[in-house]
Structure 1
Amino acid sequence: MLDDTDRRILRQYQATPEAPFAELAERCGVTATTLARRIERMREAGIVRGVRGVIDWSALGYSVEVSLRVTLDKSAPRSFEEFLEAAREVPEVLEIQTFLGQVDVRMSIIARDLAHYQSLYREKLLALPHMTDLEALMHVARLKSDETLPL
């Protein structure tokens, strides 16, 4: 599937995706044409799904991050679908994960400050459908945040 050259390209590409292809190619020991062709092949195979800008939300004034653990009413036929549909509409919800077990959903929420979070909690989060239990965990520190793969 992937050879050593592909892995080298992926390592360099995920480290500095904004670098010009000529520079990446030089670091990978291939021509710019080879680099472009291989990245395109990996895009078509679904290995490279895109390049995105990562914005530091705290630099934009969001100082509060909360994880919510949600248990849903599993007796309602479309509880998961309806909950997820409504939760996706809340702009401050950064991430939604589903689980098997006692906790059904975990959401990451951001807010400008505690007053904003309290308003968000009361007006939008408690209004989400089919919740039977909700536990909020206030983030204190992010000790590791790395999306790079060990290639």
Structure 2
Amino acid sequence: MLDDTDRRILRHLLADPQADNAALADRAGVTTATLWRRLDRLRDRGILRATEARIDWRALGYAVEVSLRFTLDKTEPRAFDRFTAAARQLPEVIEIQTFLGSVDIRLSVIARDMGDWQRIYRDRILGLPHVTDIEPLMLVATIKDTAELTL
């Protein structure tokens, strides 16, 4: 699937996603033209999906992050679709994940402070459809946040 050159390119890209192509090619030991071809092939194969910006929400004034685990009403056939459609409309929801097991969906929600969080929870979260249980988990610290694996 991946050869050593692809792995080397991906390792260097993960280590420094802001590196320009010339620097990335140099670090990976390939020409710039080879790097372009390899990156295009990795994108075409769906291995490299995007180069994305990562925003530090705390630096923008969002001091509170809460992970909410939801269990939905399993007797309602459209519960999942209606819930996710409503959750997508909330600007404070920065991530939606689905699971198998006792928890159906997890939302990551940001707020400026505890007063803002209480307003969001009361006015928006509690109004989401088909919820049978909510478990909020307040983020205290992020110990590890990486997409890197040994390639």
Return the TM-score normalized by structure 1: 0.96
Q: RMSD between aligned alpha carbons?
A: 0.9
Q: How does 1:77-88 map to 2 (within 5 A)?
A: 77-88=77-88
Which residue pairs with 1:4 in the alignment?
A: 4
Paired AA for residue 59 in structure 2: A
* More divergent stretch after superposition (99-108 vs 27-36): 99-108
Deviation at 1:44, TM superposition (A): 0.7
Corresponding position of 2:46: 46
100-109 vs 78-87, which deviates more? 100-109
- Aligned residue for 1:126? 126
Normalised to the residue count of structure 2, the TM-score between the two structures is 0.96
| SS across alignment from 1:126 | helix
Moved over 4 A (4+): none
Task: Give me the whole-angstrom Cα distance separating, in 1, the residues matched to 2:43 and 2:100.
Answer: 31
Equivalent residue number for residue 144 of structure 1: 144
Q: Which residue of 1 aligns with 2:17?
A: 17
CA drift of 1:150 comes to 2.0
Structure 2 unaligned regions, length at least 5: none
In 2, Cα distance between equivalents of 1:71 and 1:82: 13
Q: How many residues align?
A: 151
Q: Which amino acid aligns with 2:54?
A: V
Identity over aligned residues, as a percent?
59
Which runs of 5 or more residues in structure 1 are unaligned? none
Q: Counterparts in 2 of 1:23-62, with a 5 A limit?
A: 23-62=23-62
Q: For residues 131 and 88 of structure 2, what CA distance do their matches in structure 1 show?
A: 15
* Number of the residue aligned with 1:101: 101
Q: What is the alpha-carbon distance in structure 1 between the residues aligned to residue 133 and residue 40 of structure 2?
A: 45
